[in-house]
Structure 1
Amino acid sequence: MKNRVILFFLGFGLLLNAQRGKMPYQDANLSIEERINDLLPRMSLEEKVAQMRIFHANIGVESDEKGRLKLSDRVIEKLKLGIAGIKNPGEHISPAAAAKLNNELQQYIMKSNRWGIPALFVTESYNGVDAAGCTKFGRPINSAATFNPELVNRIWDVVGREARLRGMHMCHSPEADLVRDPRFGRMSEAFGEDTYLTTQMVLNAIKGVQGDYKGLGEGTHIGAVAKHFAGYGQVLGGRNFAAVEISPRTLIDEIYPPFEAAVKEARTLGIMASHGDINGVASHGNPELLTGVLRDQWGFDGYVVSDSNDIARLYYFMKVAESPEAAALMGLVAGIDIDLYAEDSYAYLPEMVKKDPSIEKMIDRSVRRVLRTKMRLGLFDNPLVDVKKAEKEVRSQTSLALAQEADLESIILLKNEANTLPLAKNKKKIALIGPLLNQETQEAFQAIAGEDITFVADKGFELTDGKKGVPNVLPTDEKALDRLTGLANDADVAILFLGGDEFTAKEAYFNNALGDRATIEPVGPQDELVRRVKALGKPVIIVLKHRRTLAINVMAKEADAILDGWDLSEMGDTALAKVIFGEVSPSGKLPVTVPRSIGQLPFHYSMKEINNKKGYLFLEDGPLYPFGYGLSYGNFTYDDIQLSGATMTPTSEITVSTKVTNTGSMAAKEVVQLYIKDEIGSVTRPDKELKGFEKILLNPGESKTVSFKITPKMLEFTGLSMKKVLEEGDYTVMVGTSSKEGVTARFRLEK
């Protein structure tokens, strides 16, 4: 691949205005629609189609040894007519270097196309901005575990600011999917199994990353692309690209709400279509979904982007189109505006228009949406970023402190026999062992514990061979097990770092890469290590680090205490040490149900009541840990529920209240959760549904009355007619500490 260094000899204003005067679409005083109406008719068909395509920067966008923009011949050719956007330019260089690169890249793009149309630079966010030098936050599943939407909003505000500072404009995040199958390798990228919790997280993530929308045009934040619309997390067998079989009622009542909120309340700029199908209809070719629901019902006016290469896959993978051209037309008709990466899809549109000129009207529709997004982001008027600000403000101490704050609120205490935790900061010897131990862990723990505690640390063994495509579980290393057991034997306390590495739960890419699992037990000799250390008679504390739910039956039985950290931020070890040594009480709650066995799947707390009628032979009923569960160093008691009335109507509300008291000896946070159960419905109903939560801080002996309003909207569901209904009848309300434990009362809805 040939590369050319791009030099800038002219000022940016000269580049833009050379050989053309100022046109109406360049006038920031006009409305966005007026500007689009002026620009769109000026564009050739080929220029329009260029605004419907995104390519990845890895085909030839980079910096040379002097930090100057270097483009491959392939990229130069692609940019002659303009482009919708480029994925991940500058992702592997520092924020300041990326800001410089992206400024030069944007200048080149605007100079190279006739109308000076800027490009969208697109990133993703699974641990903060997915680029070098940005603040590394915990994963979205960690955010969900905080049960703190305001905190999540602040996290994503930083994500939006850091991305914009390095010259990015859109983010293929957050995921609004529900994840209910721990076999699925992408589980940690989403916010858990529950509709209400996911909706609150998605709302606050989008509002944060977009600067509550006003940060877009001000140039301080980026646009969100909520994904994957719709039902992607429900793939059969938990296998990426597999079919999605889901009832229309479940789709409407449980899968759609986070996306609907993203559109109507958070005003997301973009939506990404799902890899999969829904009951046999490929999502990328589904006009009822992408136009009927998304646009006609919800009023979405942003752009829809394909997942990578998925329009072309309508032909060669999904096999619902007769040819690549038919696949392109199917995606266009369905309502997909931008083709991500493919060379064998929307690239065919100019030739297709020659045969069928009516296609150009649909092209104009999509280009209008893309141009609207670019103008909402202010890119026509202020396309560049301040390189010095990127150097100063990305990954600031304030952002790192926020990452640690989020970690502290996401860590979940699953077990604490005989108050094993917190550990006292006195003279002890503590062994830090296990395959999920980080190199920096000992230093972080020492800093929190002080010099009176001696630490020994040894990872012992790896879980996998680290192959990116198809990793293999390594054979048991008996010498390593013996060595770790010996370290634990010589210590007063053993802290075992267990769970799964980045290779045991990951995205299963299309070409020869696996990330989903057929089993959910911890891999390798982790359970054996737990048994051996437990046999020593020393206190055993387990710290879980993982990206998918694990059936930790042996650990749950043998450990004295278990802290679930999922995938914490770069400050995670410090946060864990603060929790273990009692500087902060854990307050995270499970955003998913933890099953005892893969044989219980599907298994989430809000399944229909009839699913709980029978258990399984030779297996204890119920989950290992229920949704919403999490212990504390405080001790919370709940008074009986007080209702403002025994009945409500379709036009009234009921207030439910309970007093929560911390009877423990340490200040702690509790997530007070509201669940509602419809006792009788015209269709079978969920066992219960989360409808509200509030995280509160209580000092020892302190009480607080927590109140929730129950509205008619909370009680609506899709009835026999497949329309939303509000049915007369009895309802049970529970307020408590998890989906399994709380105080209850009843009320009646009367019409």
Structure 2
Amino acid sequence: MPLSEQKEAEIDLKVESLLSQMTLEEKVAQMRIFHASLGVEHSEDSKLVLSDVVKQKLALGIAGIKNPGEFLSPEQASLHNNQLQKYIIENSRLGIPAMFITEAYNGVDATGTTRFGRPMNMAATWNPNLVKRVWDTIGREARLRGLHMCHSPEADIMRDPRFGRMSEGYSEDTFLTTQMVVAAVTGVQGDFTGLMDGTHIGAVTKHFAGYGQVEGGRNFASIQISERTLKDEILPPFKAAVQQAHTLGIMASHGDLNGIASHGNRALLTDLLRDEWGFQGYTVSDSNDIARLHYFMGVAETPDDAALMGLNAGLDIDLYAEDAYAYLPRLAKGKPDIIAQIDEAVRHVLRTKFILGLFDNPYIDVSKVPGNVRTPASLALAHEADLESIILLKNDRHTLPLKHAEKATIALIGPLLGDQTELHFRKVLGDKVAFVIEQGFELTDQNKYEPKVLPDEVNRAGLERAVDAASQGDVVLLFLGGDEYTSKEAYFARGLGDRASIQPVGLQNELVRRVKALGKPVIVVLKHRRTLAITEFAEHADAILDTWDLSEQGDLAVAKMVVGQAVPSGKLPVTVPKHIGQLPFHYSQKNINFKKAYMFMGGDPLYPFGFGLSYADFEYSELVLSSSQVKAGESFEASVMVTNTGDYTAKEVVQLYIQDMIGSVIRPANELKGFEKIELKPGESRRVSFTVTPDLLAFTGKDNVTKVEPGDFRLQVGTSSASGVFAQFKVVE
């Protein structure tokens, strides 16, 4: 028996042995997670303090606790979580350790850890190896805090910028998202292949499935996607997370598929996920969503029915709710047949705990924490990722990089100006450079739950200050876009985060017009968490650096870009529209969607998917296919010569797209099927090759079967979805 199978068999025996000793109440406790805010605290003298409610829960054991020690330093958190784990083991009958869980949108969601750029920034690097290194660091920092799982990454496809959670996903594209999710899961899990060594944590890939497609971009709204779109575009990142990256967890989606709530969808959570894909980890609800099958979704008659529906669907763990799986012990007394389903759920949870090594080594070696969290190396990695994610959208007359910046007075202006912006620019340019600093105005009242845009009359004086400050500079950098208040998660009970408009908030368009009228070079530094319609910025700015939401030292990367110490290499992970009325606007829509433009606007996006300029220029030539006619089950090679014809050593993302010209169903206009990021010196050429495999050509046809159909295809290799060199090939029976 291979070693991996032997270890799995040993784990299975241990799980069955433990399961046989458990009471029904203890089993159900292993199917629940509560938040540390329920009463898990740390006293000033570093002692564990638990509320009576928490003590009562832990007497039976628990599947896990969310965010314990999140506001403590890494050292304090490791001590705290060791004490918490010790209490759980020593104060429950069977001593089953708990999983401690975090989230990781831009690093571990806790005090004192490295703050990286958000997932959309990571996608903008188009560098899966770099993204894997980032997530490897996240996994290590989380484990040193005594954490074991993270409710990340998101494998949702993000195509609606009204959705406040847009930057939590990786892109509008299935292929790019898939590569990034696989990199994230394998990184955070430390290339997990059977048992973890105590240095990393498990991933809970979410939200399964279709969550990014909520109607109107509104959180908790319904989801309207066809079965074919689901199979070909939405599910592949999740399938890859399961089969390639071996994610230890899957979180169900808030939403529904064809009216069937995902939290009650057995075809999704069991038939597809487990029986077809072979998933062996645990499934978990999104917060309170099993109970919401009754009181929100309206598909369960009673709370009891909701609990039974979630259990039957295949959800192993109930996150937070007190009115769902909490009822299972009582329900099982009247319905003993559900005990088998409870046992199966508990098996998945216990198996994960054995894989994590919690039974053999439930504690953190606290001595390893100092010097290993938020280290110079991790900060350098965050900076490296920042540099690779910044996208140069516009650069008229070679405005960037600035020549002789050290002799100019630089005006740093705008509502997205950060507290550390001047400091970071001085690190790059030195203390002798003259700066003019003026934020001007705030975008919102910064209310945590329901922020409101500040009225123009309130911000008018700030606008005048900003314009006056800009007039004092030789060159103006305008920090514009949006922040954590203009794009955020819209929580269930209270809180708004989605928008009906994607226009920049407040007086920003007027600010860029007024500053441009001064006759000085204007560089927009675009910071945001959702795609914005930046037509005014694009019209009036001489250059635009799109930064999304960078790490804690993001403006250091911006400063280096501005003066030419670094060269932009990021590419757009989403299409940028001119107006919200163009929705849907993702590049890979059905080909027929592009037949007609809009009156008075046209049909083209402001910037296409995959777009991004450089300080260098790249020429594509000599596209060669190893065969122009292949059989349906065969692979072939496509290669292209890429030459740096510019004056800077620079990185370029070589992108492969394929269009199926004729299909049994209407096919997309274009689809990303490969990419590679390369670095070339001035004058250097390199041949870049891609292997086109049958799975890259397959789709769900008229008969609802996923396969490669014979016919003609167009292959494109270039610098974006809208530019490249082309070749034709044919697939034959």
Q: How does 1:246-261 map to 2 (within 5 A)?
A: 246-261=225-240
Does the alignment pair 1:682 with 2:674?
no
| Preserved CA contact (<8 Å) 2:526 2:548 | yes
Task: Provide Cα deviations, 1:251-283, integer angstroms capped at 9, x if missing partner.
Answer: 000000000000001000000000000110000
Does the alignment pair 1:65 with 2:47?
no
| Preserved CA contact (<8 Å) 2:7 2:194 | no
* In structure 2, C-alpha distance between the alignment counterparts of 1:308 and 1:651, rounded to whole Å: 44
| Preserved CA contact (<8 Å) 1:436 1:459 | yes
Cα offset for 1:426?
3.2
TM normalised by structure 1 equals 0.96
Q: How does 1:545-694 map to 2 (within 5 A)?
A: 545-694=527-676
Whichever residue aligns with residue 202 of structure 1, its letter is: V
Comparing 174-183 and 634-643, the one that deviates more: 634-643
Whichever residue aligns with residue 589 of structure 1, its letter is: K
| Preserved CA contact (<8 Å) 2:653 2:677 | yes
1:747 corresponds, among 725, 729, 733, to: 729
Cα offset for 1:449?
1.5
Cα offset for 1:29?
11
| Preserved CA contact (<8 Å) 2:698 2:708 | yes
Match for residue 339 of structure 1? 318
Q: How does 1:21-170 map to 2 (within 5 A)?
A: 31-170=10-149
| Preserved CA contact (<8 Å) 2:417 2:479 | yes
Match for residue 4 of structure 1? none
Match for residue 486 of structure 2? 504
Does the alignment pair 1:470 with 2:450?
yes
Cα offset for 1:28?
9.7
* In structure 2, C-alpha distance between the alignment counterparts of 1:382 and 1:474, rounded to whole Å: 53
Q: How does 1:288-367 map to 2 (within 5 A)?
A: 288-367=267-346
* In structure 2, C-alpha distance between the alignment counterparts of 1:456 and 1:67, rounded to whole Å: 46
* In structure 1, C-alpha distance between the alignment counterparts of 2:546 and 2:599, rounded to whole Å: 29
- Cα gap change, 1:426/1:217 in structure 2, threshold over 3 Å: closer, same or farther? closer
| Preserved CA contact (<8 Å) 2:621 2:642 | yes
* In structure 2, C-alpha distance between the alignment counterparts of 1:38 and 1:28, rounded to whole Å: 15
Secondary structure of 1:99's match?
helix
Match for residue 256 of structure 2? 277
Comparing 207-216 and 289-298, the one that deviates more: 207-216
Match for residue 698 of structure 1? 680
| Preserved CA contact (<8 Å) 2:155 2:238 | yes
Secondary structure of 2:556's match?
helix
1:488 corresponds, among 467, 470, 480, to: 470
Match for residue 443 of structure 1? 423
2:201 corresponds, among 202, 216, 222, to: 222
Task: Provide Cα deviations, 1:564-612, integer angstroms capped at 9, x if missing partner.
Answer: 0000001201111111110110000000011111111111000000000
| Preserved CA contact (<8 Å) 2:61 2:88 | yes
User: What percentage of residue pairs aligned between the two structures are identical?
Assistant: 64
| Preserved CA contact (<8 Å) 1:210 1:216 | no
| Preserved CA contact (<8 Å) 2:132 2:187 | yes
Task: Provide Cα deviations, 1:428-482, integer angstroms capped at 9, x if missing partner.
Answer: 0000010000111001101102345211111111100010111000122222111
Whichever residue aligns with residue 136 of structure 1, its letter is: R
Secondary structure of 2:611's match?
coil
Task: Provide Cα deviations, 1:191-237, integer angstroms capped at 9, x if missing partner.
Answer: 01000000000001000000000595210000000000000000000
Q: How does 1:716-735 map to 2 (within 5 A)?
A: 716-735=698-717
Match for residue 267 of structure 1? 246
Cα offset for 1:650?
2.2
Secondary structure of 1:326's match?
helix
Match for residue 3 of structure 2? none
* In structure 1, C-alpha distance between the alignment counterparts of 2:7 and 2:710, rounded to whole Å: 54
Match for residue 347 of structure 2? 368
Secondary structure of 2:720's match?
coil
2:411 corresponds, among 414, 431, 441, to: 431
1:397 corresponds, among 350, 370, 376, to: 376
Task: Provide Cα deviations, 1:386-445, integer angstroms capped at 9, x if missing partner.
Answer: 112122200000000000000000000000000000012331000001000011100110
After TM superposition, what 4+ stretches of structure 1 lie above 3 angstroms from structure 2? 27-30
Secondary structure of 2:696's match?
helix
| Preserved CA contact (<8 Å) 1:178 1:198 | yes
Comparing 438-447 and 372-381, the one that deviates more: 438-447
Task: Provide Cα deviations, 1:522-559, integer angstroms capped at 9, x if missing partner.
Answer: 00000000000000000000001100000001001000
| Preserved CA contact (<8 Å) 1:446 1:455 | no
TM normalised by structure 2 equals 0.98
- Cα gap change, 1:725/1:104 in structure 2, threshold over 3 Å: closer, same or farther? same
Match for residue 461 of structure 1? 441
| Preserved CA contact (<8 Å) 2:409 2:473 | yes
When the two chains are superposed, the root-mean-square deviation of aligned CA atoms in Å is: 1.2
Cα offset for 1:127?
0.9
Secondary structure of 1:160's match?
helix
Secondary structure of 2:577's match?
coil
Whichever residue aligns with residue 371 of structure 2, its letter is: K
* In structure 2, C-alpha distance between the alignment counterparts of 1:40 and 1:450, rounded to whole Å: 64
Secondary structure of 2:59's match?
helix
Whichever residue aligns with residue 458 of structure 1, its letter is: E
Secondary structure of 2:538's match?
helix
| Preserved CA contact (<8 Å) 2:632 2:710 | no
Secondary structure of 1:176's match?
coil
* In structure 1, C-alpha distance between the alignment counterparts of 2:44 and 2:164, rounded to whole Å: 38
Whichever residue aligns with residue 542 of structure 2, its letter is: D
Cα offset for 1:653?
1.9
Structure 1: tracts of 5 or more residues without a match = 1-26
| Preserved CA contact (<8 Å) 1:28 1:381 | no
* In structure 2, C-alpha distance between the alignment counterparts of 1:420 and 1:685, rounded to whole Å: 41
* In structure 1, C-alpha distance between the alignment counterparts of 2:509 and 2:9, rounded to whole Å: 66
Secondary structure of 1:217's match?
coil
Whichever residue aligns with residue 613 of structure 2, its letter is: L
| Preserved CA contact (<8 Å) 1:215 1:221 | no
Whichever residue aligns with residue 385 of structure 1, its letter is: I
Cα offset for 1:30?
7.7
Secondary structure of 1:392's match?
coil
Comparing 655-664 and 134-143, the one that deviates more: 655-664
Secondary structure of 1:301's match?
coil
Structure 2: tracts of 5 or more residues without a match = 1-5
| Preserved CA contact (<8 Å) 1:657 1:705 | yes
Secondary structure of 1:426's match?
helix
* In structure 2, C-alpha distance between the alignment counterparts of 1:564 and 1:354, rounded to whole Å: 59
| Preserved CA contact (<8 Å) 2:436 2:470 | no
Whichever residue aligns with residue 487 of structure 2, its letter is: A
| Preserved CA contact (<8 Å) 1:216 1:222 | no
> How many correspondences in the alignment?
725
Match for residue 496 of structure 2? 514
Task: Provide Cα deviations, 1:279-323, integer angstroms capped at 9, x if missing partner.
Answer: 100000000000011001100011000000000000000000000
Cα offset for 1:487?
1.1
